[in-house]
Amino acid sequence: MEFTLPVPDLGAERAGNTGTPGVWHFDSGVPGRALMVSALVHGNELCGAWALKDLLAAGLRPRRGSLTLAFCNLEAFDRFNLARHDASRFVQEDMNRVWSAERLDDPATADRRRAAELRPWVERADWLLDLHSMHEPGEPLLLTGVLPRNIALARRLKAPQHVIVDAGHKDGVRMRDFAQFGDPAREDACALLIECGFHGDPASRGVARDMVARMLIESGVAGTADLPPGWLLPDPAGQRVLEVTDAVVAPSMDLRFSEPWTGLETLEQAGSILGWADGQPIVTPYDRCTLVMPSLRQLKPGVTVVRLARDYAG
């Protein structure tokens, strides 16, 4: 799919108003939730940057609680090249795998150092919406983690159509699961990650704005009347909640799929072949197995190439 989403000019937005570059904070002075919306955790995922830029341009301010907007990996974004957009995903290390105290306290990479700058803002938030997009064309996916409070919030938001209950990645912790957001006892701390569609699809910008609008309303930070016109998209007819049970991790560069999977295909029979790795078949472990975000674009040993899911029973 062609990359047609324009690159936003963040010349004004990157200054922020907090002393932390790229971070904007607005406090209503009225008790309420502290909502944070983050974008550009990956420097080539532009839809979230557009949503935050559009929100700042609209002049929206919180009616209750506070609102923090964070343009995260600006150094990676500054390297964006349309011809090689995947190369600006991060500088040295994926910023969405460093959210543990051990890694944040170790300034080994530019990405960790930037995450450490953002850490105080993440730690002070009650709710988090992390805006992302996908390597491949696909329908929007809302990733909740495994905590029931996040799944319940996803259902209250009523969009997008597909909700993914996933435990995250073995190679590091996401921002969505950091500190209070990963603590089962912190019932007040909710965090969601939205994959808005393909990186270069202009529709991803609309999905990002829609999800920001829904979080503003549900958190109570703003009301429907405060939103810019056209931000809320129609509710889908219903939601399907899928629970990730397995992840296919590349053992080497010798991995290929049996078909050009695009995601959300449901294979009826256990043992259906998905592809081959090191000459061995990769098969579905159970009946009605749904494929989540298959992609070989970032293929290297240790990288997840597809997740396997079934309908959530909770």
Express each pLDDT in 124-138 by its tens digit: 999 999 999 999 999
Query: Looking at the domain covering 243-311, what would its CATH class be?
Result: mainly beta
When the pLDDT of each residue in the chain is averaged and rounded to a whole number, the result is: 96
- To which CATH superfamily is domain 13-226 assigned? Zn peptidases (3.40.630.10)
Name the nearest CA neighbour of 41 among 195, 157, 188. Answer: 195
DSSP annotation of 302 reads T
Q: What is the pLDDT of residues 197-229, one digit of tens each?
A: 999 999 999 999 999 999 999 999 999 999 999
**H helices within the chain, ranges in order?**
46-58, 74-77, 101-104, 110-123, 148-157, 203-219
Taking residues 174-199, report their average pLDDT.
97
pLDDT per residue over 65-113, tens digit each?
Answer: 999 999 999 999 999 999 999 999 999 999 999 999 999 999 999 999 9
Give ranges for CATH 2.40.50 in the chain.
243-311
Question: In whole angstroms, what is the distance from residue 228 CA to residue 59 CA?
Answer: 9
Spatial separation of the C-alpha atoms in residues 284 and 246, rounded to whole Å: 9
pLDDT given at position 170 = 72
Quickly list DSSP for 103-151.
HHT---SHHHHHHHHHHHHHHT-SEEEEEEEESS----EEE--S-HHHH
Q: Which residues pair with residue 38 across a beta bridge?
A: 70, 130
Using the predicted structure, report yes or no on whether residue 37 has a pLDDT greater than 90. yes
The verdict on pTM exceeding 0.85 is yes
Q: Could you give the angle at which helices 148-157 and 203-219 cross, rounded to 10 degrees?
A: 110
**d(C-alpha 63, C-alpha 68), whole Å:** 13
Q: Please count the other Cβ atoms lying within 10 Å of the Cβ belonging to residue 66.
A: 21
Burial letters for 17-43: b for 16+ Cβ neighbours within 10 Å, e otherwise? Answer: eeebebbbbeeeeeebbbbbbbbbbbb
Check whether 169 has a pLDDT greater than 80.
no
